[in-house]
Amino acid sequence: MVYVIKNTCFLQILKRKQFFKRFLWRTYSSDSPIQPIDVKRIRNFSIVAHVDHGKSTLADRLLEITGVIKPGNENAQVLDQLQVERERGITVKAVTASLNYSYNNEPYLLNLIDTPGHVDFSNEVVRSVTACQGVVLLVDANEGIQAQTVAVHSLAKRNDLVILPTLNKVDLPRADPEKVKNQLKSVFKIEPSDVLQVSAKKGWGVEELLKAIITRIPPPNVDTTDHFRAHIIDTWHDKYRGVLCLAYIHSGTLKMGQTVKWKSDVKQHTVKYLALLRPSEESITEAMAGQVVMVGLGTKGGGSVGDTLLSPEATDGKDTTVPAVRHMVYAGIFPADQSQHTQLSDSIKKLSLNDSAVSVAVDSSPALGQGWRVGFLGLLHLDVFTQRLLQEYKAEAILTAPSVPYKVKVKGAKIIKHYKGEDVIVTNPMQLPDVSNIVEYYEPFVIGTIISPVEYIGAVNTLCIDRRGNPLPSNAVDDQMTMLQYILPLSEVVMDFHDTLKSITSGFASFDYQDYGFHPSSLVKMDILLNGVIVDELTSIVHISRLEYNARTLTARLKEMIPRQMVQVAIQAVVGGKVLARETIKAYRKDVTAKLYGGDITRRKKLLKQQAEGKKKMRSVANIKIPRNTFIDVLKR
């Protein structure tokens, strides 16, 4: 089949990489269709583990064995496709790869999902397991069970998934597989005989793992004869094709050109793109129940994570199992210059499609202008999001200090009607209701799980108690490691808790946390006053035990950052009319006595008195000028 193209403009369009791919799909997909496979020979599974236990390396070996990539490149990490992932050496996005594998002379389709290991990206793991029937629980044979290992095992159990316990890095000199097997038995009741051993770097035991995936993980329990129904586990934006979705098909079949609808929107759309991710896109003409496929409905047919895609005949859009996201940290994002507002707005919208764990709400600040209040799952999530904005969309942004959400109970019929209920969630201290209308404050808490060597237990307990933690019963992992649990305020965890924990335990302890809800707490609103005028941007919500420290720290920082004025500037941290800390910036002062060469001292006093009265008058009418950069430096994390 030969095409002769004479149109110069069309030739220029073909040079675009994405368009050329689509051109090839439409040309050759009908000539080489993907053969359908029996549902009984489909296996959907995720690789879950603590951070840096070798998930991406194991995924590389699976891609090699199934012929997706060439063997020999030990550091490929093909599924870590983002620049931020390669720079930081961590997995941020769960990535799907559909692999073909032959076992006992029968073809199998293995839908692999490589998931992140850091707690800030646990939402990626939660969404991934909704499309799986089993998980490979990977544990480092050197480090043993870590905090995130406990979390992902609990998640797999809650979703009734088959767990394949697997020890990785067994080739290293420090590896102690028998010790880690005993840990698995002690903590999870996993028999040592059920544990597989691999070296993802060397490729040892990976073939046996593939066979175990086929024999021990069941096929998806789906109905291919029913109406089409699928739920969305991921979305992203393509420059030429609009919003693309990753869907797990629960029932029926999906074909190119088929008409479908969203559960949340009765408007019908046509399937324009359908592909398997291997992990690069491979166009197909038909997909069946049990498969994980990429679906595109054109530029006006975008969906959202957790939504359900249905055939027009389907009337029963059952709820999916994708849980709601609980945001742990909120921060303001503002353009460096208001002329860049539109560009930053478009960039945030596109990136939030690919990162469904963020929440975006319009915000404004008298000092920083128009911006957004964005919710994240943690500080690393916040860091990665802003880094991706810069790397992928060339969008520079100002990031304000992160804060956790609080809840307050208000009184008064008008106030309750205004906030549509007694309980008000406050994500920005500037939005806090008037103190006179607040009955009680509630603070978010988490259950923190710490796995630490026994010699550091004293230091860990001291840290947790200093951070207002309440201990829960501890469990021994083995004779050298202990699992501690504390109920901790979220505000004490999200800032520097993890770094401090690593420091006092020489890097051996691991930490993970889960939501424990809102609980009553002794919180107060702290205002910052400049010459008696409240600066809204610097308002904060503080626990009474941290009040004096925070007040002194913030006023001292402001004294360093606010430039001197023609008048004296008083910086005060105030709670309920009581001044907790004060710093003073001296005014510029002209030496009015310089022209005196002697004489009576009364002349000197007269000139100084006139100057003081002039300064007092100026102070009563002057506005304190605070440069925008000062706000940025103070509010910046």
Instruction: Report the distance separating Cα 260 and Cα 625, nearest Å.
Output: 58
- For residues 408 and 607, the model is more confident at 408
- Asked if residue 448 is part of any domain, the answer here is yes
Identify whether 530 is part of a domain: no
Mean pLDDT of the chain: 83
Task: Identify whether residues 418 and 508 lie together within a single domain.
Answer: yes
Q: Is the dihedral of CA 188, 189, 195, 199 positive or negative?
A: positive
Let me know if residue 223 belongs to a domain: no
Pairing mode of beta strands 578-585, 470-476: unpaired
DSSP state of 300: T
Q: Which residues on adjacent β-strands are paired with residue 492?
A: none
Task: Identify the bridge partners of residue 340 per DSSP, sorted by sequence position.
Answer: none
Q: How many domains does the chain have?
A: 5
Same domain (yes/no): 177, 255:
no
Residues 133-180 have pLDDT tens digits of: 999 999 999 989 998 898 889 889 988 999 999 999 999 999 999 999
Q: Is residue 222 part of a domain?
A: no
What pLDDT sits at residue 334? 87
Percent of the chain with pLDDT over 70: 87
Tell whether the model's pLDDT for residue 217 goes beyond 80. yes
Q: Could you tell me how far CA 444 lies from the centroid of its own chain? A: 18
> Which residues lie below 8 Å from residue 560, measured CB to CB, with a gap of 6+?
none
538 falls within a domain: no
Helix (H) or strand (E) holding 127: helix 122-129
| Span 339-375, pLDDT tens digits | 888 999 999 998 988 888 888 998 887 777 889 999 9
Residue among 260, 244, 310, 264 nearest 96 (CA): 244
Q: How many CB atoms neighbour CB 178 within 10 A?
A: 12
Supply the CATH number for residue 606's domain.
3.30.70
Looking at the structure, do residues 62 and 107 belong to the same domain, yes or no? yes
**622 vs 630, which has greater pLDDT?**
630
Per the document, the length of the chain is 637
Angle between helices 497-504 and 457-466 (to 10 degrees): 160
Do 627 and 584 share a structural domain? Answer: yes
Same domain, 429 and 500: yes
Residue 309 structure tokens = 């895609």
Written in H, E and C, the secondary structure of 424-446 is: EEECCHHHCCCHHHEEEEEEEEE
> Cβ–Cβ contacts within 10 Å for residue 125, how many?
25
* Paired residues of 514 in beta bridges: 447
The per-residue pLDDT for 632 is 59
Q: Confirm whether 17 is domain-assigned.
A: no
pTM of structure: 0.77
Report if residue 3 sits inside a domain: no
Q: Any idea which of 28-37, 193-202, 544-553 has the lowest mean pLDDT?
A: 28-37
pLDDT of residue 76: 64
As beta bridge partners, residue 107 has: 102
* Residues spanned by the domain of 410: 406-521
Confidence label for 454 from pLDDT (cuts 50, 70 and 90): very high
212 and 255 housed in the same domain: no
Domain boundary among 362, 384, 399: 399
Triad 85, 89, 90: Cα angle to 5°: 65
Q: Predicted confidence band at 242 (pLDDT cuts at 50, 70, 90)?
A: confident
Do 490 and 613 belong to one domain?
Answer: no
Contact (Cβ atoms closer than 8 angstroms) between residue 450 and residue 505: no
- Which residues in 376-404 are b (16+ Cβ under 10 Å) and which e? bbbbbbbbbbbbbbeeeeebebbbbebbb
Q: What is the CATH number of the domain that holds 87?
A: 3.40.50.300
62 and 196 fall within a common domain: yes
Angstrom distance (rounded) from CA 630 to CA 562: 6
Kind and range of the H or E run holding 344? helix 341-354
CB 112 within 8 A of CB 45: yes
In three-state secondary structure terms, 575 is strand
Q: Are residues 335 and 354 in the same domain?
A: yes
pLDDT at 79 over 90: no
Tokens of 38: 């029996």
Distance CA 464, CA 487 (A): 9
Binding residues for GTP: 49-56, 114-118, 168-171
Count each helix (H run) and each strand (E run) in the chain, helices first. 17, 31
Is the pLDDT reported for residue 203 higher than 60? yes
Picking from 9-18, 258-267, 627-636, which range would have the lowest pLDDT averaged per residue? 9-18
The answer on 474 and 355 residing in a single domain is no
pLDDT digits (tens, 9 = 90+) for 422-438: 999 998 888 888 888 99
CB 620 within 8 A of CB 612: no
pLDDT of the residue at 593? 67
Note whether 140 and 183 are within 8 A (CB): no
Q: Which residue has the higher pLDDT, 622 or 37?
A: 37
pLDDT above 80 for 566: no
Give the separation between CA 519 and CA 17, rounded to whole angstroms.
53
Over residues 28-64, the pLDDT tens digits come to 333 334 456 889 999 999 999 988 888 888 988 898 8
Q: DSSP secondary-structure letter at 35?
A: P
412 phi and psi angles, rounded to 5 deg: 100, 130
Between residues 17 and 216, the one the model is more confident about: 216
Rg (CA), the chain: 30
Q: How far apart are the first and last CA of the chain?
A: 59
Q: Considering only CA atoms, which of 423, 439, 406 is closest in space to residue 540?
A: 406
Binding positions are 49-56, 114-118, 168-171
| Rounded Cα–Cα distance for residues 82 and 388 (Å) | 9
Backbone angles phi, psi at 362, to 5 degrees: -65, 140
Residue 427 shares a structural domain with residue 502? yes
User: Edge-to-edge strands of the sheet including 329-335?
Assistant: 359-365, 369-376, 329-335, 397-399
Q: With CA atoms as reference, report the closest residue to 352 among 297, 389, 395.
A: 389
- Calpha distance 53→63 (Å, rounded): 18
With bands split at pLDDT 50, 70 and 90, how would you rate the model's confidence at 460? very high
Paired sense of beta strands 106-114 and 42-49, if any = parallel
CATH code, 502: 3.30.70.240
Q: Are 123 and 515 in contact (CB under 8 A)?
A: no
Q: What one-character-per-residue DSSP string does 552-567 give?
A: HHHHHHHHHHSPP-SS
Contact in structure between 148 and 117 (CB atoms under 8 Å): yes
What is residue 614's predicted lDDT score, i.e. its pLDDT?
67
pLDDT score for 535? 80
Buried/exposed code over 211-242 (b: 16+ C-beta within 10 A; e: otherwise): ebbbeebebbebeeeeebbbbbbbbbbeeebb
Domain containing 341 — which CATH number? Answer: 3.30.70.870
Same domain, 350 and 381: yes
**Edge-first strand listing for the sheet containing 259-262:** 265-270, 259-262, 308-310, 229-238, 242-251, 292-296, 273-277, 281-283
State yes or no: pLDDT of 7 exceeds 50: no
Angle, vertex CA 42, rays to CA 36 and CA 47, nearest 5: 135
Per-residue pLDDT of 309-318, as tens digits, reads 999 887 765 5
**Nearest residue to 35 (alpha-carbon basis) of 311, 282, 297:** 282
Largest CA distance in the chain: 113
Q: Is residue 27 part of a domain?
A: no
Asked which of 521, 546, 577 is the last residue of a domain, the reply is 521
Q: Which of 371, 399, 427 is the last residue of a domain?
A: 399
Please give the sequence-ordered ranges of beta strands (E in DSSP) within 297-403, or none if there are none: 308-310, 329-335, 359-365, 369-376, 397-399
What is the per-residue pLDDT for 321?
Answer: 52
